[in-house]
A = this chain, B = another copy of it.
Amino acid sequence: MLAARMHEYKKPLLLEQVQAAKNLSGERVLVKVGGAGICRTDLQMIDGYFREYLDLELPCTLGHEIAGWVEEIGDSVPENIIKKGDLVVIYAAWGCGVCPQCKSGSEQICGNGKWAGFGPEGGYSEFVLVPSYKYLIKVDKESNLKPEDIAPITDAGLTTYRAIRKVKHILGPGKSIAIIGMGGLGSYAVQYARILSAGSTVLAFDRNDDKLDLAKENGADHVINIKDKKSEDIRAEVNKATGRTEVNAGIDVVGTEESIAMGFSMLATEGAYVSSGLVGNQIKMPLFPLVSRELQYYGSFWGSYNDLREVMELAKKGLIKHHVQKFGLSEANDALDLLREGKILGRGVLVP
């Protein structure tokens, strides 16, 4: 089978033939890739951003946002759950199965886990091997969902869902939530914010007017271009939009030192902030407001299988707008370059 593989850090991927898995035993499933999302994390992997935490054995195949069709199943896969031909999304975080995190369903934060596309071969390929049918979610035929649309939901559209779930308890009528960053993740976040925020006002922050226009289409009540603006200025715009200078929740899908400091400075008393973006390395902010206003700060990482199940339910109901740009497997490097230059609106997806 063909795969676009990483052979060296900071170098383009190479398109090459590799052997697909055969004669599956046990719970294993081979999935024919229908769409593989191209994530900023993939760029960061190639650039070596995560090397300190996870040093890849090369060559390897990237791609952790995968949807496709079941091609072959192992002998202990129950066919009433998964069978050949089913359209599925892959939950790509495969934990140890015994730690407290795995045993409560948060396999993505297992300290001994493996993730498709981060060691185990990923989705930039014609086929991908999944260690158990228990990592798949079947998509009903009647839903008319296409693999290229739902592939990004397994990470971009999952990470943001979990991030917003973390602050759901403080939202409600009269409250507001700001999504900081309208890139691949932000466009999902705005949509989820409407659904999960129990009547809160949804604000979108970005430096790019095109992305903010898309945010409006996706359901943001108000959008604010924060380019070159100070906290006071942004607060004034928040006030104009909502009648209050502060927000109750902030979801940061950018992850720079500046975005965090700015977003945090907007929080009302008892407000909550979630970092799910990772670009910068450091958090720097004043201590006094955190303490005296009893603020809350949550890290949020990817999502659990149940989170993905819920996101897929939204997709099945047609409650998620997909914004994807398709590329062939041979265009993987071009697509990564476009992403690096910020020229992809929505999410890039490889369709082998």
Contact = CB atoms under 8 A, between A and B. Distances in A.
B255 A287 contact: yes
Contacts of A293: 109, 299, 301
A2 interface: no
A306 B260 contact: no
B284 A174 contact: no
Main secondary structure of the interface of A (DSSP, over half): mixed
Contacts of A314: 173, 199
Contacts of A168: 168, 198
Contacts of A275: 287, 290-291
B299 A290 contact: yes
B304 A300 contact: no
Contacts of A299: 289-296
Contact of A53 (B98, B281, B288): B288
A324 B58 CA distance: 56
A218 interface: no
Interface in A71-128: 81, 97-98, 100-101, 103-106, 109, 111
Nearest to A172: B310
Given A174-B309, A199-B319, A285-B282, A292 B260 contact: no
A154 interface: no
Contact of A198 (B173, B198, B309): B198
Contact of A283 (B101, B134, B269, B284): B284
A296 B300 CA distance: 9
Interface in A167-211: 168-169, 172-174, 195-196, 198-199
Interface residues of A, number: 65
A276 B190 CA distance: 33
A286 interface: yes
Interface in A273-330: 275-278, 280-301, 304-306, 309-311, 313-314, 317, 319
Contacts of A134: 97-98
27 contacts: A53-B288, A53-B292, A81-B98, A103-B306, A109-B269, A109-B270, A109-B293, A168-B168, A168-B198, A173-B314, A174-B310, A199-B314, A255-B291, A257-B287, A260-B287, A278-B287, A280-B287, A281-B286, A282-B285, A283-B285, A283-B287, A284-B284, A289-B299, A292-B299, A293-B301, A296-B298, A297-B297
Which 5 A-B residue pairs are closest in the complex by CB-CB distance?
Answer: A174-B313, A173-B313, A290-B299, A297-B297, A173-B310
